[in-house]
Amino acid sequence: MREPVAKPKRFYREAKAEAGLDGHVLMLDGRPARTPAKNPLALPTRALGEAVAAEWAAQGETIDPSSMPLTRFANSAIDGVARDMAAVRAELARYAGSDLVMYRADAPEGLVRAQAEAWDPVLDWARESLGARFVLSEGVTFVAQPETSLARVSAALEGETSPFRLAALHVMTTLSGSVLLALMHEAGAISAEAAWRAAHVDEFFQEILWGLDAEAAERRSRREAEFLAASRILALSTE
């Protein structure tokens, strides 16, 4: 059994965000905080800066990284996504070629209906808002999507110039298996909670039939917390 990792001791008394040339910088006892890669921990908006500072201020005698999801997102955006945003956009765009909402069950009838109720509105939104039409498939058989539709999704992602928002979209997409759900949420056309339920309609249907698997439900709960944190990053990164 692996030994638990010791949490670092709190080494500061005060945490707050201060406006600077790089944005709203996290200050710990008056000194600028830095990311793991030694970049300034600077946030793009005051709201996000204050929210990150609140995570640091809420720590007790030790620092618990698991209780600081916004800080983890900020580190990822600054140290990772900002370094190669084109690669992140390209990775997200590839999801459109095999997006979750395009692959449907052919039975049982209840699952077919549940998927249609959850996913048809996503395809309707993509058609109306992105001008992108997609082809459905039954089962796991791959179906090629129209190049024009894939290009429309890529164009929507090209319009995202914030590494923080792009990091949030990346997390929401990888956790849900659907870049369309992530973009739909970013556009304000579906709530984060509804998007999460839509992405897991198959699991919820199986639980109705066979009962709750406590271990699987716990894993899903942890992933949902990350999904909702990504949604909060989207909201707080907008002036």
Output the domain CATH number for residue 45.
3.30.2180.10
Greatest extent of the chain over all pairs of C-alpha atoms, in Å: 61
HSE toward the beta carbon, residue 21, CA cutoff 13 A: 0
For the chain, how many structural domains are there in total? 2
CA 109 to chain centre: 31
Is residue 69 a contact partner of residue 229, using CB atoms and an 8 Å limit?
yes
- Whether residues 113 and 226 fall in one domain: yes
Instruction: Count Cβ atoms within 10 A of the Cβ of residue 27 and give its class: 0-12 exposed, 13-18 middle, 19 or more buried.
Output: buried
Query: Which pLDDT tens digit goes with each residue over 151-198?
Result: 999 999 999 999 999 999 999 999 999 999 999 999 999 999 999 999
Q: What is the pLDDT of residue 210?
A: 85
- Whether residues 36 and 114 fall in one domain: no
- Whether residues 54 and 106 fall in one domain: no
- For residue 8, whether the previous peptide bond is cis, meaning omega lies within 30 degrees of 0, is no
Domain that holds residue 35: 15-64
What does the block give as tokens for 71? Answer: 């800080």
Q: In terms of pTM, does the model score above 0.85?
A: yes
What does the block give as tokens for 199? Answer: 């992405």
Q: Is 163 left (phi over 0), alpha (psi -120 to 50) or beta?
A: alpha
Residue type, 225: A
CA pair distance 190, 193, nearest whole angstrom: 8
Helix axis angle, 85-95 relative to 179-186, nearest 10°? 110
- Whether residues 232 and 174 fall in one domain: yes
**Tens-digit pLDDT string for the chain (239 aa):** 455 678 899 999 999 999 988 899 999 999 999 999 999 999 999 999 999 999 999 999 999 999 999 999 999 999 999 999 999 999 999 999 999 999 999 999 999 999 999 999 999 999 999 999 999 999 888 999 999 999 999 999 999 999 999 999 999 999 999 999 999 999 999 999 999 999 999 999 998 888 888 898 899 999 999 999 999 999 999 87
Q: What is the pLDDT of residue 172?
A: 98
- Whether residues 35 and 100 fall in one domain: no
Provide DSSP, 125-137: HIIIII------E
Buried b (16+ CB within 10 A) or exposed e, 121-141: bbbebbeeebebebeeeeeee
Residue 176: CB atoms within 10 A of its CB come to 24
Name 40's bridge partners: 34
- Whether residues 152 and 53 fall in one domain: no
Output the domain CATH number for residue 109.
1.10.3580.10
Helices (H), 31-188: 46-57, 69-79, 85-95, 109-125, 147-158, 163-176, 179-186
